[in-house]
Structure 1
């Protein structure tokens, strides 16, 4: 009986380790706290957060001329680096979106620092992989700072713990308007850490679904 219990515990821990790799780190931390308090769900709350959207430029063309296995392998090379950089700078990847991802930070400066390091590393990787991929792979990154609801969506059979709100949508729109290999930030983000970053001159973009234009600027330098 003892041996059987040990085997079951070992399998459970193994499954838990696998699941941890597929879920945001913040969810595990909150879930552990909720479980300790005797809760059966994860409560949501509204808070000020930094949102980083990033995706590959011309992904459709790249996937058309490469087998799916090569596409996935190539993307994983970049995203493995991105995951390390983001986690080592206080952020957490909320979700991957095929050729892109959404990362969340509580500190705007840490988000800016991570984006600068990641952008430089992506350029290095693109140069290294250019012979095997046949093209220089480029990514767009958008950053915004604002209030959003971080909570649970879904039903009894499937739930997700994510962020919802206008600030999240703005960050996504900023990224889609960014030039390849650049980092575009909102003025709200810039103001939250302006003493530690420098940018180009501000300009406005008009995005789908919004009446008012959004003021943005390209990130130039981060005090590392």
Structure 2
């Protein structure tokens, strides 16, 4: 690159623009891949635009009320009309606002800033007075650019805030150059003031009506650039925090697919609650559709999938309602645990309650499906209570929280044994004894369940006592 261009910072400017473009594309890609992030950005955009347009309107109304007191002449109507134009532009921006790059929004922002420059630097065409154009700088109108910049931080991205800063500085500099070279000058005024201030040269420089006071104008641009850079950095940081919050929301949603809402809140407050490997006593429940393969053969694939989704939704609601954890879907089966990741005294009781509710709910669900001419989905349930191992398994880039151990295998075998015993629910004696120890619930179980001693399960040498219903 040409050394002169490098010396004036063009190379750094190009690098900054390229950085902004890369960042914008990266954020857009993240938003497209994360619906929570897109929703958060859209909500933030609506919220920001809503407050911006109302604050802008209120501020402009305040200025409109103030102007007649500052300039009690008929030509003030010119500025009042322009204030209405600014209000209209603000509401158009509100209507066109959307997430992502919008050329229409950027164009309206540019119109805003250019119009503001015209209002501040071009003399009122309806004013009967004639004075040097440089006198326009004496009204300290530059401060209104800070107002527009502050409002921009409420509604726009850090890139747009940086653009507003750059455009404002460019417009003010262009106005300075235009007035310096092409503005109306009245030398007689300068001569008269100089004569009146003979010996007061520095005072004359301050009040010379034909002087644009370039140093002050440059100072204004520098201060605006610094403030704009700070606000852009703050907007960038706020946007990063918004993205993090959206990602946290997505993670909580993922947790809610497996854990009840109360457990999700607890897990979200803990640091790495699932990272450590540990052993604890839990209740494990398996539910399965009896003869699903035979039923599925009679249905279209779409109908099969939809029925499975409805069935899974029924079971998931019951598991979560009873404080259980949805461990996994196993095709037409479901594995749930009660006591993970944290145990509670009534884990066994809640697992038994969930088993009963699953049978009752699926019976009602089957009645509704029968009215639609669909086949019934008979469901069987097996529940066992005992020690399991909890922890993450898999590779570093594909981990899964798993519940492992003989208790899981026994619960699965109990569900399968319902065909052998001709029942719908089998629970282990370990579960019933745990309920009796905690809540004296054995009597309730005996009223509705039948005991079977020494049931031999497939793949196990030692039989176990069970209860059926």
TM-score bin (small chain): 0.7 to 0.9
Could you tell me which residue of structure 2 aligns to residue 104 of structure 1? Answer: 337
| Distance in 1 of aligned mates of 2:247 and 2:467 | 48
Unpaired runs of 5+ residues, structure 2, are 1-157, 159-234, 340-346
Deviates more, 1:173-182 or 1:83-92: 173-182
| Distance in 2 of aligned mates of 1:27 and 1:15 | 12
User: TM-score under structure 2 normalisation?
Assistant: 0.42
| Distance in 1 of aligned mates of 2:394 and 2:426 | 32
Could you tell me which residue of structure 2 aligns to residue 222 of structure 1? Answer: none
Tell me, what secondary structure is at the counterpart of 2:366? helix
2:460 is equivalent to residue 218 of structure 1: no
| Distance in 2 of aligned mates of 1:205 and 1:69 | 39
CA gap 1:156/1:133 in 2 versus in 1, 3 angstroms: farther
Compute the displacement of 1:32 (Å): 4.7
> Whose RCO is larger (CA < 8 A, sep 6+)?
1
| Distance in 2 of aligned mates of 1:27 and 1:176 | 31
Compute the displacement of 1:127 (Å): 1.1
Query: By percentage of residues, which structure has more helix?
Result: 2
Could you tell me which residue of structure 1 aligns to residue 320 of structure 2? Answer: 87
Does structure 1 retain, via aligned residues, the 8 Å contact 2:252–2:268? no
Alignment partner of 2:251 out of 4, 12, 16: 16
Per-residue deviation, residues 144-166 of structure 1 (Å, max 9, x unmatched): 00001111111111011111111
Q: How many residues align?
A: 215
Tell me, what secondary structure is at the counterpart of 2:368? helix
Could you tell me which residue of structure 2 aligns to residue 154 of structure 1? Answer: 394
Could you tell me which residue of structure 1 aligns to residue 415 of structure 2? Answer: 175
Tell me, what secondary structure is at the counterpart of 1:128? helix
CA gap 1:47/1:133 in 2 versus in 1, 3 angstroms: farther
CA gap 1:11/1:31 in 2 versus in 1, 3 angstroms: closer
| Distance in 1 of aligned mates of 2:271 and 2:293 | 41
Q: Max radius of gyration: which structure? A: 2
Could you tell me which residue of structure 2 aligns to residue 113 of structure 1? Answer: 353
Unpaired runs of 5+ residues, structure 1, are 220-224
Alignment partner of 2:452 out of 202, 209, 223: 202
Could you tell me which residue of structure 2 aligns to residue 189 of structure 1? Answer: 431
CA gap 1:31/1:5 in 2 versus in 1, 3 angstroms: closer
Compute the displacement of 1:202 (Å): 1.7
Alignment partner of 1:65 out of 298, 305, 313: 298
| Distance in 2 of aligned mates of 1:30 and 1:6 | 21
Tell me, what secondary structure is at the counterpart of 1:134? coil
Alignment partner of 2:275 out of 38, 42, 49: 42
After superposition, the CA RMSD in angstroms is 2.5
Deviates more, 1:178-187 or 1:68-77: 178-187
Does structure 1 retain, via aligned residues, the 8 Å contact 2:451–2:467? yes
Compute the displacement of 1:60 (Å): 0.4
CA gap 1:183/1:66 in 2 versus in 1, 3 angstroms: same
Query: By percentage of residues, which structure has more strand?
Result: 1
Tell me, what secondary structure is at the counterpart of 2:270? helix
User: TM-score under structure 1 normalisation?
Assistant: 0.84
Deviates more, 1:199-208 or 1:162-171: 199-208
2:388 is equivalent to residue 140 of structure 1: no
Per-residue deviation, residues 171-211 of structure 1 (Å, max 9, x unmatched): 10001111477110111111111432222132333222211
Could you tell me which residue of structure 2 aligns to residue 130 of structure 1? Answer: 370
2:290 is equivalent to residue 53 of structure 1: no
| Distance in 2 of aligned mates of 1:56 and 1:14 | 33
